Amino acid sequence: MALNFDEFQKVVETAQQADAVKADLKRSLKKVGNALGALQAALGEMETMLADEYVAAPRTRKPRQPRAAQADGEGAPAKKPGRPKKTQA
């Protein structure tokens, strides 16, 4: 009984390729499962929003803080950064 190492090597390579394909399929199925879960969650939220008894919660804003008084005591605005205006000579 002679062992044919070429055939044995082909069988091993085929098995390794099959394992790689299985791993890729598992990874793809996980992604699809996660996407389906997100889609179901979004559909549930949409059904809630489209229900007749749904009322949107009003948005609340933070109250504005008044600006601090200037250190020089005058009401003149502070200098803004940037290029100064051209003056006529």
Q: Which residue has the tokens 């996980």?
A: 30
pLDDT digits (tens, 9 = 90+) for 54-78: 888 888 999 988 877 655 555 556 6
**DSSP string across 32-61:** HHHHHHHHHHHHHHHHHHHSTT--PPPP--
% of the chain at pLDDT higher than 90:
42
Mean pLDDT lowest among 14-18, 36-40, 61-65, 67-71: 67-71
pTM: 0.47
Question: How many whole angstroms separate alpha carbon 89 and alpha carbon 85?
Answer: 13
Q: Where are the domains of the chain?
A: 21-48
pLDDT at 8: 87
Q: Which of 87, 66, 71 is nearest to 79 (CA)?
A: 71
Residue 57, CB half-sphere, CA atoms under 13 Å: how many? Answer: 3
